[in-house]
């Protein structure tokens, strides 16, 4: 396993040692959470001796939209999709990484000041790689419906990964963990279940794969869109609609998804057992499909993976 602290990182438009990539305690992003990020997975296929980036162009598109929202003009003006992907590929090559890795990409207000606003500040880009296996359990986990509500789109938009919004995530996740659960499920102010603490969310009812629409204050997840497309290709019926809390109990399966989470089944919500308390057939099928896709094993989805070497 590589030590990310010994690696090269991309910081302020240059490749530098990890130890040289730092910001001041007076940095505006540090003081106020004024940044945006995305996480990209790289999967190493030992049989091919190849490291595959999963949907980096789609990550760029979502990340660029978040940067536009945050008025990060330096990134928006200076980074095309091609340049962005090349930087990520070069970073992995420079560090000779040949194992599963997670890349954290951050744009942030890069000035020292006291004052909260998006306009008038310069922004910078930072990218580093981190070794990462399962972010949350993938063999069946217990979730608690959180008392903390998801922030609304007109407060801190969830569709872009805004740094400061993850205080909301931390409250929900901490509450769940301290109560003895693995993860939290969060509701919006309308009482609809919308996400995990930091994952998109699906249920299965009567053979239909159901997930909240992007208008329900959720992240426009890359893994979420992947599973919707893969399910349709496999002939699995899908729906995008709001989900009520009681449907968690009625559901045959509950699944959390994300770049970090991948495809993670839920076998208990609060004190209710989901289905028969085991990982369900839909989750098992989607886990296998997703794994084969990201490791470059299915020709149909080769356009989604970018080889590094």
Span 269-280, pLDDT tens digits: 999 999 999 999
Residues in the chain predicted with pLDDT less than 50, given as ranges, are none
Distance, in Å, from the CA atom of 297 to the CA atom of 10, rounded to the nearest integer, reads 30
Domain residue limits, the chain: 4-131, 141-294
CATH number of 141-294: 3.20.10.10
pLDDT of residue 134: 73
4-131: in CATH 3.30.470.10: yes
| Contact predicate 247/193, CB 8 Å | yes
- Reduced to 3 states (helix: H, G, I; strand: E, B; else coil), residue 247 is helix
| Contact predicate 261/135, CB 8 Å | yes
pLDDT of residue 179: 98
Span 76-122, pLDDT tens digits: 999 999 999 999 999 999 999 999 999 999 999 999 999 899 999 99
| Contact predicate 51/44, CB 8 Å | yes
Q: Which residues contact 86 (CB under 8 A, 6 or more apart)?
A: none
pLDDT of residue 1: 84
Cα-only R_g, the chain: 19
pLDDT of residue 18: 97
């Amino acid at each position: 396993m590589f030590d990310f602290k010994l690696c090269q990182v991309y910081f302020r438009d240059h490749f530098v040692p990890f130890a040289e990539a730092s910001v001041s305690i007076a940095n505006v992003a540090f003081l106020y959470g004024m940044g945006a990020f995305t996480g990209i997975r790289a999967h190493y296929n030992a049989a091919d001796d190849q490291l595959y980036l999963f949907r980096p162009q789609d990550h760029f598109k979502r990340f660029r939209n978040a940067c536009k929202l945050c008025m990060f003009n330096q990134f928006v003006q200076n980074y095309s999709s091609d340049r962005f992907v090349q930087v990520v590929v070069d970073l992995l090559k420079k560090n000779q990484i040949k194992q599963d890795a997670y890349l954290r990409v951050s744009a942030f207000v890069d000035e020292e000041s006291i004052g909260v606003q998006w306009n008038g500040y310069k922004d910078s880009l930072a990218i580093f790689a981190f070794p990462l296996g399962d972010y949350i359990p993938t063999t069946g986990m217990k979730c608690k419906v959180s008392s903390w509500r998801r922030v609304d789109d007109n407060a801190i938009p969830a569709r872009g990964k805004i740094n400061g919004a993850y205080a909301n995530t931390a409250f929900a996740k901490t509450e769940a963990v301290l109560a003895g659960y693995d993860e939290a499920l969060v509701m919006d102010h309308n009482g609809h279940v919308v996400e995990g603490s930091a994952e998109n969310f699906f249920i299965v009812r009567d053979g239909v794969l159901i997930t909240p629409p992007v208008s329900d204050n959720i992240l426009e997840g890359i893994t979420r869109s992947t599973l919707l497309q893969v399910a349709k290709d496999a002939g699995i019926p899908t729906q995008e609609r709001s989900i009520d809390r009681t449907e968690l109990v009625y559901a045959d399966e509950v699944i959390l998804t994300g770049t970090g989470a991948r495809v993670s089944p839920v076998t208990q919500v609060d004190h209710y057992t989901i289905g028969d308390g085991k990982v369900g057939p839909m989750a098992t099928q989607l886990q296998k499909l997703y794994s084969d896709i990201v490791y470059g094993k299915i020709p149909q989805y080769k356009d989604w993976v970018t080889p590094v070497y």
